[in-house]
Structure 1
Amino acid sequence: MSKARISTEAGFAEAFASAAPESLTEGRIRVGSFASGSEIGLPFVILKGRNPGPCLWISGQVHGNEINGIWAGLDFIEALDTGTLSGSVVLTPTANPLALDARRKTAPQDEQDLDQTFPGNLNGLVADQMSAALFDAAAAHADVLISMHTMNNLFNSDPYAVYKLHPDGGVGEEKLFSMIRHFRPAVACRMAVKAGAGELPGNIPGAIDYQMLSRGKPAFMVELGSGSETNAECIRQGVAGLYGVAAEMGLLSAPMRDPAPTLRRVTRRTHVMSREGGLFRTPLVPATTVAAGDPLGTICTLTGRLITEPAMEQDVLIIGIRKDPVVHTGDRIAFVALEWSDVSV
């Protein structure tokens, strides 16, 4: 259903407090400006229901090339009936407008991974200031936050979830699984955050979901397919998941569909890097189990001569597999689970 929009110049806290029942308010969280005077700001949409209730916050995109989460958030809000909504839904379509405008993962101004900078720093680099502006608003108003992502645009993947556990936040795995199951993810990956865990470099505790968990707010990541594209099926899966979480929170009377009865929990995963450059080809698709020693694909020269057939020394489960065939030494060719099990939820 199409909704009348109210535009506001007010800050987020004022806009949220003054939004009337059954209204849609759009505005921007101001961050700063360019030398030319153009504003740097984070757009937001506030949908208020007829009745009071909790607040579901959707962060549509943290990295600039992750588009499907923006569409899922917009389609979800467009489909909601404010007359039957109890509470509020907030969508910040982009947490990183500078990276979005540049059509790349990070903002060219500082090359920081924004999802390693939370809770932010209003006196820091521009990514730190953007994350601070977003986090101040979200931490003050959200009861649940879902951080939408996609996999690298060079990879194929089915929608999956990523969650973290904070030792002092009081939000356990059971609570997160209860919400994650609505997305029916291919896998639900428990991500280690301690230094030296070996999965990814950088400040992993600086993710927005982990910082929300530290404040006792349920939060997790959803990876909706590949970056730099619009995938209708991934978007529909995201919308259905958002409906389910909203229903579980009490914002809606019922979910769009039944949640998954089990989740495939991944407790250890890794990137597989190419040892040689060339053209990579694979018949594998996400959610495939590959036995120890079986090839993940082939790498050949530009004249067709086989160079290598990369393989793992143990059984693995494919989370994402490279679709761009051009690889150099050190490029990622697969993202795989090393430990996994099915759990009832």
Structure 2
Amino acid sequence: MAGIDEQNILTLLNKKIKPGESAKINFNTAKLYTTTAVEVPIIVERSTEPGPVVLITGGIHGDEINGVEIVRQTIAKGINKPAKGTIICIPVVNVFGFLNLKREFPDGRDLNRMFPGAKKGPLASRVAYQFTEEILPVADYCLDFHTGGSSRFNSAQIRIDKNEKELLELAHIFNAPFIVYSKTIAKSYRKSCMNLGKSVLLFEGGKSLDSNKEIAKIGVEGIQRFLSHLGMLREGFTVPKANQKSIIIEDSSWMRAKYSGLLHIKIPIGKKVEKGEYIAIITDPYGEFRHKVTASQTGYIINANQSPIVYQGDAIFHISKG
């Protein structure tokens, strides 16, 4: 059973980790068809000083490389060695998807729609169950890193529920360019965190199957600011200064392609655009057709479809309202 006892000894997946110790624990999920074991490495760093437990995860979707890179850099730079408390890093939760460069598990299920899982359910559900039962209970704070799906590039953002004052404060401390009010999806990891009373920030940045240096930088610097706020960032690390206050997005809508063809985006993601502003063109492959795309409303571009080819009706821009 996961937990911390009166002597401040952390028990995680039946392994006991004392204050001041480091550990690498293998979260055994299942085996490949070849019977080769598939293990999810969990990196635990504990201070001698008591404090919060922060769980940092990436790769719940196997093709979301930016999240993996953010957690990797956090470990490689030693940011995960706390001044107090405990930091648990899991760079790749969905190792099955990561090995196949796919979002889902081999059973075709989305792990982030299977929480809290079932002990005797399908593979993804079993992993979600074990994670919820054996790892999540020890955490006080959860930072979960994602990207936009497919070719849709998300501007760096923290997603929280509206009217969550504590999470709003923590989101401002993290200081991604945007804070997006977003309803929690049923059976998501974020929902399970909330059901267990864990403070959770969901980071979105970039797109799947892509590694973006700027998105990774924003994520790692946000972690540093977050840990500093909790008094967990060790001496020797400079807390990155916030460039500007995060912009809160309360509502937004998608623009969809009016025509099929080649999509050419003409503005940077994250830019504030005015209604009617020229933001893209759609052409045919033969040089005969050219459609000018203009912004449907005034607002910030928080997501753009970077696919070079779109069909009529495809979502191409996600724009904030107001």
Sort the TM-score into its range (normalised by shorter chain): 0.7 to 0.9
Report the TM-score when normalising by structure 2. Answer: 0.86
Closer, same or farther in 2 for the Cα pair 1:338/1:116, shift >3 Å?
Answer: farther
Query: Does 2:199 align with 1:208?
Result: no
Alpha-carbon distance between aligned partners in 1 of 2:107 and 2:321, rounded to the nearest angstrom: 34
Q: How big is the shift at 1:89?
A: 0.6
Tell me the equivalent position of 1:38: 36
Equivalent residue for 1:114, pick from 105, 111, 116:
111
Query: Does 2:221 align with 1:223?
Result: no
Instruction: Point out the more displaced range, 220-229 or 50-59.
Output: 220-229
Instruction: Point out the more displaced range, 320-329 or 215-224.
Output: 320-329
Q: Please list, as runs of the form range in 1=range in 2, the aligned pairs for 1:111-260 lying within 5 A after superposition.
A: 111-164=108-161, 173-193=164-184, 204-252=185-233, 256-259=239-242
Q: Deviations over 1:136-186 (max 9, x none)?
A: 233311000011011235244432111125xxxxxx632112222233212
Q: How big is the shift at 1:224?
A: 2.9
Q: How big is the shift at 1:63?
A: 0.9
Tell me the equivalent position of 2:74: 76
Give the letter for the 2:146 counterpart.
H
Q: Please list, as runs of the form range in 1=range in 2, the aligned pairs for 1:293-308 lying within 5 A after superposition.
A: 293-308=276-291
Q: How big is the shift at 1:301?
A: 0.6
On the 8 A contact 1:95/1:131 being kept in 2, the answer is no
Alpha-carbon distance between aligned partners in 1 of 2:300 and 2:79, rounded to the nearest angstrom: 40
Q: How big is the shift at 1:221?
A: 0.7
Secondary structure of the corresponding residue to residue 252 of structure 1: coil
Give the letter for the 1:237 counterpart.
I
Query: Does 2:318 align with 1:320?
Result: no
Query: Does 2:21 align with 1:23?
Result: yes
On the 8 A contact 1:24/1:46 being kept in 2, the answer is yes
Instruction: Point out the more displaced range, 277-286 or 21-30.
Output: 21-30
Report the TM-score when normalising by structure 1. Answer: 0.81
Closer, same or farther in 2 for the Cα pair 1:90/1:83, shift >3 Å?
Answer: closer
Tell me the equivalent position of 1:58: 56
Closer, same or farther in 2 for the Cα pair 1:76/1:295, shift >3 Å?
Answer: same
Unaligned runs of 5+ in 1: 1-10, 166-171, 194-203, 340-345
Tell me the equivalent position of 2:7: none
Equivalent residue for 2:268, pick from 276, 285, 290:
285
Closer, same or farther in 2 for the Cα pair 1:286/1:140, shift >3 Å?
Answer: same
Query: Does 2:213 align with 1:262?
Result: no
Give the letter for the 1:85 counterpart.
A
Q: How big is the shift at 1:192?
A: 2.2
Give the letter for the 1:94 counterpart.
V
On the 8 A contact 1:286/1:321 being kept in 2, the answer is yes
Q: How big is the shift at 1:57?
A: 0.2
Q: Deviations over 1:109-139 (max 9, x none)?
A: 2322221221112222222122222222333
Secondary structure of the corresponding residue to residue 165 of structure 2: helix
Q: How big is the shift at 1:52?
A: 2.2
Alpha-carbon distance between aligned partners in 2 of 1:84 and 1:192, rounded to the nearest angstrom: 32
Secondary structure of the corresponding residue to residue 120 of structure 1: coil
Q: Deviations over 1:1-46 (max 9, x none)?
A: xxxxxxxxxx93322xx22333321122222223421224332111
Q: How big is the shift at 1:82?
A: 8.0
Q: Deviations over 1:54-97 (max 9, x none)?
A: 11001112111111222222222333378862111111112211
Query: What is the root-mean-square deviation of aligned Cα atoms in Å?
Result: 2.4
Tell me the equivalent position of 2:88: 90
Alpha-carbon distance between aligned partners in 1 of 2:121 and 2:81, rounded to the nearest angstrom: 42
Aligned identity (percent) is: 19
Closer, same or farther in 2 for the Cα pair 1:23/1:153, shift >3 Å?
Answer: farther
Aligned pairs, number: 310
Instruction: Point out the more displaced range, 294-303 or 88-97.
Output: 294-303
Secondary structure of the corresponding residue to residue 245 of structure 1: helix
On the 8 A contact 2:160/2:183 being kept in 1, the answer is no
